[in-house]
Amino acid sequence: MLSSTMEKALNEQIREEYYSSYLYLAMSAYFESLDLRGMARWMRTQAQEEHGHAMKFFDYVFERGGTVVLAAIDAPQVTWASPAAAFAAALSHERHITGCIHRLVEAAAAEHDHGTVNFLQWFVKEQVEEEATAEPIARRLEKIGDNMVGLLFTDRELGSRGA
């Protein structure tokens, strides 16, 4: 059984994960508006992945006898100054989520909730992967700037994600 404190924290993480999905979907729409369909596809895939993360938390709360309480999700930003700025924002957001996951692990450990600590280890590993995936793209796009050849090459490369 989850403590009320842990249940509340996990419900907040469900909201964070759904916001992540919403944010990446907004980024996908932004890239579609720029005719950068490869980047749009990459972000759409990311949005679907984040939805899956939310559902892992959703199911876990029920598995532990808790109650899921869905909270309102803020509207995400919808435009960015450039593709590089959008990916920099994605990386920053992943770092925020990493901090959220770490705080959850610390809270679960403080409560001696070993089941939740164990459950969260998948997310700890996942966040390492998320940052390691987003960071080189953000760095590359920063170097490319507004060079159309570089943008189109990167767009094509990112469009192969999940193909």
Q: How confident is the model at residue 162 (pLDDT cuts 50, 70, 90)?
A: low
95 within domain boundaries: yes
Phi and psi for 69 in degrees, rounded to 5? -125, 110
CATH of the domain at 16: 1.20.1260.10
Residue 161 contacts residue 41 (beta carbons within 8 Å): yes
Q: Which of 128, 138, 142 is nearest to 89 (CA)?
A: 138
103 within domain boundaries: yes
21 within domain boundaries: yes
163 within domain boundaries: no
User: How is residue 57 written in tokens?
Assistant: 């938390």
Phi and psi for 36 in degrees, rounded to 5? -105, 75
66 within domain boundaries: yes
Query: How many domains does the chain contain in total?
Result: 1
Average pLDDT over residues 35-57: 97
**Distance, CA of 76 to CA of 89 (rounded, Å):** 11
Q: What is the pLDDT of residues 107-136, one digit of tens each?
A: 999 999 999 999 999 999 999 999 999 999
121 within domain boundaries: yes
Question: Which residues have C-beta within 8 Å of that of residue 136, sequence separation ≥ 6?
Answer: none
**Distance, CA of 17 to CA of 54 (rounded, Å):** 5
78 within domain boundaries: yes
Instruction: Give the domain range for residue 142.
Output: 4-158
154 within domain boundaries: yes
